[in-house]
C-alpha cells in the first residue's frame, strides 16, 4: 500500500501592518492646557473644512502641529509656495469653552478626505493627542447630506459623549437621534469612556457641492462656546450663492460632457 502523501503546507500569512498615524508638534511645543479644539474634516458639503478654514484665516491662527501617515494620499498643500501637511493644527489666544474657561482656541483642519478604514484610527489619534496636550473640550463640525439645497434654514443637530452631555442642555443644542457614521462617528466612537468632553455639531449640507451656507450656520451655532469671537458669516453667505451658481453650472457641464461621451460618433468620424 503506497504511503499517504504529506499534507500540503499552508502558506504563512503575515497580517497587514496597521497604518501609522501620528501628530507631530511643530517647532517649540505650545502650551495648550485647558484649550478648546475644533475639528473640521472634508465630509458632506465640506462643512467642516470651510468652517474651520474660515476660523484660521479670520483669527490669523498660528500652526502648532500636523498629522502625518504613510496611508494618506500623496497630496500636499502649498501656502505661499511652501509645502505644508494636508492635516494641520492651529491655535490662537481666545476666550472660549464652557463658562469661558478656555483661554486658547485650537483647530484641526484637513484638506484631504481620508479613506474610511483610517477614520477610527484618526479619531483615536486626535483624542489621544488632545488628552496629552490637556485640551478641555473637543468640538467636531460635520455635514449631513441632503439631496436638495436647504435654503436659508439650515438645521444643526448635536451629539456628545457622556463627558459632554451637560453641554447639550446648557446651550440648548438640538439633540440628534439615530446612527452616526463617517468621521463624526469615528470621533465619537473613540470618545466613548473618555473623560475628555467631545461634542459634534452636524449641519444639513448639499451632497454634491461645497455648502458655505451650512458652514456659516454651524459657525453661528458654535458661537456661544466662543463668546468674544465676532463671527461675521455674511461673507460666507455671499460666497454660498456664488459657489452654488458655479457648481450648478459645473455639474450641468459635466452631465453634458458625459452624455456626449456616451453617444458613439459615426464611424467616419471615429477613424478619420
81 within some domain? yes
pLDDT in tens, 6-64: 555 555 565 556 668 999 988 777 889 999 999 998 888 888 888 888 888 888 899 99
3 within some domain? no
Domain with residue 111: its CATH number is 3.40.50.10900
Average pLDDT, the chain: 80
102 within some domain? yes
1 within some domain? no
Q: What is the CA radius of gyration of the chain?
A: 23
- Nearest partner of 19 among 126, 108, 109, 122, judged by Cα: 122
User: How far, in Å, CA of 15 to CA of 268, rounded?
Assistant: 55
pLDDT at 16: 58
The answer to whether the CB of 21 falls within 8 A of the CB of 122 is yes
pLDDT in tens, 83-118: 888 899 999 998 888 888 888 999 999 888 888 899
Burial 191-226 (b: 16+ CB within 10 A, else e): beebebbbbbbbbbbbebbbbbbbbbbbbebbeebb
12 within some domain? no
Domain count, the chain: 1
Instruction: Centre a 10 Å sphere on the Cβ of residue 104 and count the other Cβ atoms it contains.
Output: 22
- Nearest partner of 143 among 55, 99, 208, judged by Cα: 208
5 within some domain? no
User: By residue range, what is the domain housing residue 174?
Assistant: 21-263
% of the chain exceeding 90 in pLDDT: 33
**What are the angstrom distances between the C-alpha of 114 and each of 22, 42, 76, 120?**
14, 9, 13, 11
Q: Which residue has the higher pLDDT, 204 or 268?
A: 204
Q: Is residue 181 predicted with pLDDT exceeding 50?
A: yes
Find cell 473623560 and name the residue. 195
9 within some domain? no
105 within some domain? yes
Amino acid at each position: 500500500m503506497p504511503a499517504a502523501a504529506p499534507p500540503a503546507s499552508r502558506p504563512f500569512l503575515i497580517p497587514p501592518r496597521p497604518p501609522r498615524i501620528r501628530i507631530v508638534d511643530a517647532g517649540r511645543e505650545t502650551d495648550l492646557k485647558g484649550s478648546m479644539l475644533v475639528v473640521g474634516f472634508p465630509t458632506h458639503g465640506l462643512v467642516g473644512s470651510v468652517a474651520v478654514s474660515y476660523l484660521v484665516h479670520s483669527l490669523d491662527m498660528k500652526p502648532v502641529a500636523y498629522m502625518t501617515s504613510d496611508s494618506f494620499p500623496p497630496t500636499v498643500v502649498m501656502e505661499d509656495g511652501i509645502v505644508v501637511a494636508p492635516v494641520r493644527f492651529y491655535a490662537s489666544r481666545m476666550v472660549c469653552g464652557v463658562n469661558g474657561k478656555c483661554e486658547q482656541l485650537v483647530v484641526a483642519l484637513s484638506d484631504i478626505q481620508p479613506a474610511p478604514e483610517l477614520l477610527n484610527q484618526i479619531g483615536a489619534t486626535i483624542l489621544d493627542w488632545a488628552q496629552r496636550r490637556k485640551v478641555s473640550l473637543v468640538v467636531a463640525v460635520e455635514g449631513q447630506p441632503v439631496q436638495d439645497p436647504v435654503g436659508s434654514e439650515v438645521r444643526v443637530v448635536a451629539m456628545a459623549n457622556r463627558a459632554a452631555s451637560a453641554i447639550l442642555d446648557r446651550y440648548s443644542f438640538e439633540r440628534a437621534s439615530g446612527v452616526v457614521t463617517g468621521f463624526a462617528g469615528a470621533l465619537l466612537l473613540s470618545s466613548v469612556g473618555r473623560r475628555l468632553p467631545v461634542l459634534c455639531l452636524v449641519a444639513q449640507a448639499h451632497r454634491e457641492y461645497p455648502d458655505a451656507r451650512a458652514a456659516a450656520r454651524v459657525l453661528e451655532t458654535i458661537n456661544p462656546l466662543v463668546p468674544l469671537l465676532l463671527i461675521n458669516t455674511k461673507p460666507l453667505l455671499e460666497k454660498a450663492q456664488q459657489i452654488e451658481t458655479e457648481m450648478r453650472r459645473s455639474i450641468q457641464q459635466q452631465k453634458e460632457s458625459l452624455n456626449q461621451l456616451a453617444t458613439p460618433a459615426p464611424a467616419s468620424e471615429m477613424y478619420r
